Amino acid sequence: MFGITQHITIDYDETYHSLDDYQGNVPRWCPGCGDNAILTSVQRLCRDEQLPPEKTVFVSGIGCSSRFPHYMKTYGFHGLHGRALPIAQGVKIRRPDLHVFVNMGDGDCCSIGTAHWIHAIRYNMNLVALMHDNEVYGLTKMQASPTSPRGMKTNTTPKGTVLQPLNPLTTTLGVSNVSFVAQVAEWMPDFLYEVIKAAYHHHGFAFVRILQRCPHYTPNIFDPFITNPDNVVLLTHEKGMPVRDELKKVYKNSIEHDPSDLHRAREIASMSDKIPVGILYQNEDIECYDELRRKTRACTHSMREQALEHEFSKFIIEPVTENGKSH
């Protein structure tokens, strides 16, 4: 199909991929970087789902988090600042056989690539988008990000940021065709894994905001939530994700939230003093752009020739025949 030879699929069932099969270069992130936890969760997901490494693509933007694909042993596309989403969409549009993940930082997603983020939600293509949100520009050495809390001092805001931060959850939930929105934190590794897994299994565009510490520039930014688990709100529901009992012991603050309730999801997303974690919204009935625009049939040479001839006939001039008339 799609001009792709088939025989490479023969061995799939016989090959077992271990974690090693997904581990690429040794990460060059700083010790203590939250990205490591995300990487581990994703590698675990790949192994548990036995994703063929050659059929799996990680597309990223620019920033610390966007080094992610280099540390996987799948296909990767470390592209341009802000442009991971349209590149990933291009990868997917004619390759439904590929599993495509997108890694973006908060600068990528919420600043330079915002237009793509909004439209990616609307396209609702079958992609998993992981937004590594450390609320700061790290690789460029500490500048304010759209998600930096108000008053945060950075190199570009020495007196503190003057604006309220952008809320990626309410923003995503406000866009037409939104189909999956979740939030999780890197310091909850098992839950992080569960959320990414749910995102992977979602039909449509899955957007996961991952709160992530930068050990250099925002090491303490999430302290209120780490030191006091009561500031974290677990979203539980029979239609939502299973939450293990051990987790419930630590995070005692949980609310029942039906992920199909968009209105309630927006209310939860608007919390300012606490952080909700889990699936805020999920709707698998939204149509997907890649499926709406999918190729309906293969095109042979003779079909192409016929189609061209049909078009040429609209513009044709034939030689005049003997009786003086055109054909």
Partner 1 sequence: MIAIRWRVFSLLQQFEQLLRRKKLSHGHQIKGTGSMNTDHPHAESETGSIDKKFITLREHIVEIVSDAGEGAQKAAQAFGTISAKMGNGIWTVEIIPAEIQPPPRNAAGASGNRIRVGSFHITNAGDEADLVFAFNEQVLLGRVSSKNLKPDATILLDNKWRTHKDPAIVKAYTETYDQLLAEGHTIYEVPMEQECLKYVSNPQRGKNMFALGVLCNIYKRDMDIARAHVEFIWQKKGEKVVTDNLNLLNAGYEWAEQNLDFQYEIPSAGITDPQIVVNGNTAIALGVMASGMEVCAMYPITPATSASHYLSEIFENVGGVVHQAEDEIAAVAFAVGASYAGKCAITITSGPGMSLKTEVLGLASMAEIPLVVVNVQRGGPSTGLPTKVEQGDLLAALYSTHGDAPKIVMAPATIEDCFYSIITARKIAETFRMPVYVLSDANLATGQQPFPKPKFNEDWVAPPLDLSPLPEGARPYDWDPKTGLSRRFIPGQAGGMHTLTGLAHDRESKVAYEPWINQDACKHRSLKLAAFQRTLKAPQVFGDPDGGDLLLVGWGSTKGAIEEAVTRARKDGLSVSSLHLKFLQPMASGIGDILKKFKKVLTVEINFSDDPQEEIITEENRRYANLAWLLRARYLVDVDCFSNVHGQPIKPGSIEAMIHRQLEAVPSAV
Instruction: Return residues touching partner 1 (CB under 8 A).
Output: 3-5, 7-8, 24-25, 52-55, 57-59, 69-70, 72-80, 83, 85-95, 97-98, 115-116, 118-119, 293, 295-299, 301, 303-305, 307-312, 315-320, 325-326
Measured from the CB atom, the residue of 284 and 309 that comes closer to partner 1 is 309
- Let me know: does 96 contact 290? Beta carbons within 8 Å: yes
Q: How near is the Cβ of 83 to partner 1 at its closest, in Å?
A: 4
Q: Which is nearer to partner 1, 74 or 148 (CB)?
A: 74
With respect to partner 1, which residue has the nearer C-beta, 159 or 315? 315
Nearer to partner 1, 57 or 232 (CB): 57
Concatenated DSSP letters for 264-283? HHHHHHT-SSSEEEEEEEE-
- Give the three-state DSSP class for 104: strand
175: closest CA among 122, 109, 106, 110? 122
**Gap between the Cα atoms of 57 and 51, Å rounded:** 10
Q: How far is the CB of 284 from partner 1 (least distance, A)?
A: 23
Neighbouring CB atoms inside 10 A of 39's CB total 23
The full length of the chain comes to 327
Q: Give the residue with the Cβ less far from partner 1, 26 or 162.
A: 26
Question: Tokens for 101?
Answer: 């993940």
> Min. distance of Cβ 274 from partner 1 in angstroms?
34
Give the nearest distance from C-beta 314 to partner 1 in angstroms.
Answer: 8
Pick the closer one to partner 1 by CB: 127 or 279: 127
Q: Please state the closest distance from residue 135 (CB atom) to partner 1, in A.
A: 25
Tell the smallest beta-carbon distance from residue 21 to partner 1 (Å). Answer: 10
Please give the backbone phi and psi of residue 147, each rounded to the nearest 5 degrees, phi first: -100, 5
CA dihedral 143, 60, 201, 266 (to 10 degrees): 30
Query: How close are the terminal C-alpha atoms of the chain, in Å?
Result: 40
